Amino acid sequence: MPCLNISTNVSLDGVDTSSILSELTTSVAKLIGKPEAYVMVVLKGSVPISFGGTEQPAAYGELVSIGGLSPDTNKKLSAAISTTLETKLSVPKSRVFIKFYDTK
């Protein structure tokens, strides 16, 4: 089961988190090649984060999957996740850091 954990210093009060969770779930499932029913997404807001010495909007993510990850796939996942966070939460793509774990 792929699991995407996202923490951001952006407040999620008043934000339609359902649309973010849905969009991220679809992106992960499509790019990894697993059914959406197996994908978990956790989104935490208002987490104290400093990135590059500032507390401007930023996000940290970890994606764990049993298979399905590769350098090319990870690049596509980074782009899709960053785009969603930029569009929905105004976190610049340059302030998103994602770690990928492919477990056997």
Q: Is 11 exposed, middle or buried, given 0-12, 13-18 or 19+ CB atoms closer than 10 A?
A: exposed
Distance (Å, rounded) from C-alpha 30 to C-alpha 81? 12
CB atoms under 10 Å from CB of 47, counted, come to 13
Active site residue 71: no
Could you say which of 2, 48, 57, 92 is catalytic?
2
Work out the angle at residue 7's Cα, subtended by the Cα atoms of residues 78 and 52, and round it to the nearest 5 degrees: 75
Active site residues: 2
